[in-house]
Structure formats: structure tokens, C-alpha cells
Amino acid sequence: MSAFTVGAAGTSLDENTHVASFPLATLSRATSNWTPENIIGRGGFGPVYKGSLNNREVAIKRLEVAIGGGQGIAEFERELATLTRCRHENLLPLLGYCRAPDLCLVYPFMENGSLFDLLHLTDRRERKGALLPSFISRLELLRQVVSGLVYLHGENFVHRDIKSANILLDSLGTARIGDTGLTREVEGDFTNTQGVGSPGYVDPRYVETLELSEASDVFSFGLLWSRHVRSLDGKASRRSNAKTAYSVRSRP
């Protein structure tokens, strides 16, 4: 259920999705009319803006339909469908959306960034003499990612894009799996689909056969585990990646 007051600033509650439906004008005001200074990221769906709604910091994905094309619309519908059906403490929750004239998805702002940020800031923290996350803390974050993945797989969904940039950290440092726009529902042991994912994380067997299964997420998580625990980033050596890939794929 959305934390936003129904009727406030034009907000309504969608009876089908049970999340808030916002008029575009409300989201425009929340982001100071989509000022570029409020852009905090970009993805295949479009830019992500930081904003404020009802005194709460939010992140808003926006797709301008006129220039976004069919792929962006498909990702919007898929992410909306997934997050209105799936709710878990280790998934990034959906607060609301807008359908016209542009497509928008509204999430709580994750003030601690992502695992990608944690990996890439490590050297800077070491130079400043700051304490790094302990080994136990790193394992706990990864346990939370596993918890979210187990839930998604239990609902017959495969994420398809597990990587450090898509693991967000909330104000308490809890891991939240985000960016579910590529998520697909799997029927049976696998589903045939177009190969997608991020270079350096995507399961090569999935790319080769286009047969999508939970194993594809497990493969990506294996690489995430290796890089996070050993503080490797996306530029990890090919040898390290190959050894991890072999290890993950060799297990039953």
C-alpha cells in the first residue's frame, strides 16, 4: 500500500494495482519541472530524477512516450506488473506511477546508493582512513540479495539483470533489488526469450540458447558475490570472471 494520501495533490489509488496513481503535473512539481540537476541516474527506461512528494524523498523514473519507443513502454508495463504483485523487504518497493502523457514509476529514494557505489568508493574510503564494511556486513548484504531472489523465483519471476548497480541500499543499509524492468515470468523449467542483461554479469548459456531460467540469476549472483566480497568492480580480470563462472556453472 502506498504511503501517499489519497486525494492529495491529485493522487488516487488504483483499485487494480493498489498503489498511488499520480498526474504528471504532480511529479513535475516534485522534481522542479524535471530539472537536469535532479537527475540521479539513467537506464534503458530513461532518466531517474530525485524529487520530493508529501515531504518524502523519492526517485522517479520517467519515459517520454513520444521518444521512448515500444521497448521502454514494455519495460514500464513489466516493472509495474512485477512490483504490484511482488512485495518483499529486499525488493525496491513501488510507491506509485503515472501513465499519461509520459510514463513514470515512483520509488522511495535510496540514500545509501548501491553496491556499485560501495565497491567503487572503497579506495576513496581507504585513502581517508575510514572504516570499510566488515566481511560479515558484506555477507549479510549478499544474504539479503539471496532472500529477495528466492522470493522472486518463488513467484516464478527471473530478474535477468542482477548486478551491483541494481542492488540499492536504503537508509538502514538494507539491500533492495531494483530495476525489475527486464524481469520475466517463467513457465515450467525455462522460458524462451530474447537475450538481455548487462555485460560482465549476463549468463552466457542464456545468451547462447535464449532459454531463461532461475539459473541465469544464480550465475549473475555468483559474479556479484565474487566482486563484492573481494571488492572487485566491473573491471575485474577475465581470469577471475572465468573462474567464478566455471564454479557457478559446475554446481548442480
Give me the pLDDT at residue 180, please. Answer: 83
Rounded to an integer, what distance in angstroms lies between the CA atom of residue 41 and that of residue 169? Answer: 15
Rounded to an integer, what distance in angstroms lies between the CA atom of residue 241 and that of residue 11? Answer: 47
Confidence at 2, pLDDT banded by 50, 70, 90: very low
Q: What phi-psi label fits residue 203: left (phi over 0), alpha (psi between -120 and 50 degrees) or beta?
A: beta
Residue bearing the bigger pLDDT, 237 or 87: 87
- For 76, other C-beta atoms within 10 Å of its C-beta total 23
**For 38-42, 135-139, 148-152, which range has the lowest pLDDT when averaged over its residues?**
135-139
Given a cut of 90, is residue 149 above it in pLDDT? Answer: yes
Give me the pLDDT at residue 145, please. Answer: 97
Confidence at 241, pLDDT banded by 50, 70, 90: very low
Catalytic residue among 102, 161, 203, 217: 161
Tell me the average pLDDT of the chain.
78
Q: For a pLDDT cut of 70, what percent of the chain falls above it?
A: 68
Rounded to an integer, what distance in angstroms lies between the CA atom of residue 80 and that of residue 181? Answer: 8
Q: What is the mean pLDDT of residues 125-149?
A: 77
Given a cut of 70, is residue 90 above it in pLDDT? Answer: yes
Q: Which of 45, 107, 106 is nearest to 73 (CA)?
A: 45
Give me the pLDDT at residue 66, please. Answer: 61
Domains in the chain: ranges and CATH: 8-108 (3.30.200.20), 115-250 (1.10.510.10)
What is the helix (H) or strand (E) element at residue 146, kind and residue range?
helix 135-154
What is the helix (H) or strand (E) element at residue 111, kind and residue range?
none
The question of whether 170 is a catalytic residue gets the answer no
